[in-house]
Amino acid sequence: MFEPLHYLALIETKPNARDPVAALKDWDLPEAFQHLRHLIEARMGNRGRREFIQVLRLMEAVPMEIVATAVLMALPKAPDQVSIS
């Protein structure tokens, strides 16, 4: 069984690889995570990848639902707000 959390530490050490987060494309994450990734990478470029991976690594210690709620709260408020489900 594919367990993406096991790959995060390795991916974090190679954030400048072509697209390290693409290796996790089959991970069923709430939509808010993808929105956050785009915002972080748009603002920070390649450094944003490492930042996003660090957000994902929070799930090594905290349940996904809690991290997803925090991600949603961190996103800019907009009329078409992204949901965590």
Q: Is residue 40 part of a domain?
A: yes
Task: Give the separation between CA 29 and CA 31, rounded to whole angstroms.
Answer: 6
Q: Is residue 82 part of a domain?
A: no
**53: closest CA among 72, 73, 70, 37?**
37
pLDDT tens for each residue of 38-70: 999 899 987 888 898 899 999 999 999 999 999
What was the pLDDT predicted at 19?
64
What was the pLDDT predicted at 22?
65
Q: Which domain holds residue 46?
A: 5-19+28-74
pLDDT at 81 over 60: no
pLDDT tens for each residue of 13-22: 776 666 666 6
pLDDT at 35 over 50: yes
Q: Is residue 33 part of a domain?
A: yes
How many distinct structural domains can be found in the chain?
A: 1
Buried b (16+ CB within 10 A) or exposed e, 43-77: eeeeebbbebbebbbebeeeebeebbeebbeeeee
Q: Is residue 46 part of a domain?
A: yes
pTM (2 decimals)? 0.76
